[in-house]
Structure 1
Amino acid sequence: MNQIVYKGSSPFQNITVLDRSRFGGMHGRFRLLKFTDDIVQGVMDLENPSRLVLSYSRTVVDLIDHYVPDFKEGFIIGHGIGVISSYYSSRNLVTAEIDPLVVEISKKYFGYLGNKIDIGDGRELLKKQVDKSQDIIF
């Protein structure tokens, strides 16, 4: 079952949010964020929202936890549904997202309540950070 929850567009891309009963061979209740290219940008397990469904998310968390487990300050380029910044919500983590609609959708359809999000080009926003103030940049 695929049910479109939201379909819209921004100056950057077309955006679709849909609910599915299957994802990656798993059964359950999943909510997906897709962009113009129809590639999945984020997945939430609606029955266990804190679960890291995508291997990409699990890999990022594993890398951060392995190399900088006690980081205090961080900067991430790209928000999606906010999985990574939600996972580290107790840390001072700034996320850069170029598309304000993606941020609205992450809050409305994925319940994002996490860290600070700066709207704009991540490269330009990173240049505005104090030199060497970040423990991680991803």
Structure 2
Amino acid sequence: MITPRVPPGLASVHLKGDLSMLDQAQRNRFVRLLLATGAAAGLLATSLIAGAPSAGATSSATSQAPVADFTHQCVLDIIMWTCSFDGSASSGSVVSWDWQFPGAAFGESGSGVQTSARYEVEGTYQVTLTVTDGTGRTDTTIKPVVVG
């Protein structure tokens, strides 16, 4: 008997049993069930279409999309404000951090988990962080940053 187990909130599938005992129609129904559970299961389902894997086949990945978050600190450097930004508060399997700094003195974008921007004028600026995980899912947060 084949028993898929998918914990709530995860697209993780652990198979117990031998898929070779299923006919093609049963295998197709099983594949549809796997595809309905999430992306990681879809990868396993693709291999099932080609043929039955051995007992104990496993596919595992979190289905949690990334969540963008950041902290910042601004200090006055003689005549300009330098604001440091840290995106390590973001959650999920983030592989890239893309920043937008409207009103910044030297360029309005940055990348990486940590970056900085300089401002000539005090005020409140809406800083945008977009994070991307390894599967291409993204999340964006916009926070007000008070300079001065």
Q: TM-score range by the shorter chain?
A: under 0.3
- TM-score, length-normalised on structure 1? 0.22
Higher Cα Rg, which structure:
2
Greater helix share, structure number: 1
- TM-score, length-normalised on structure 2? 0.21
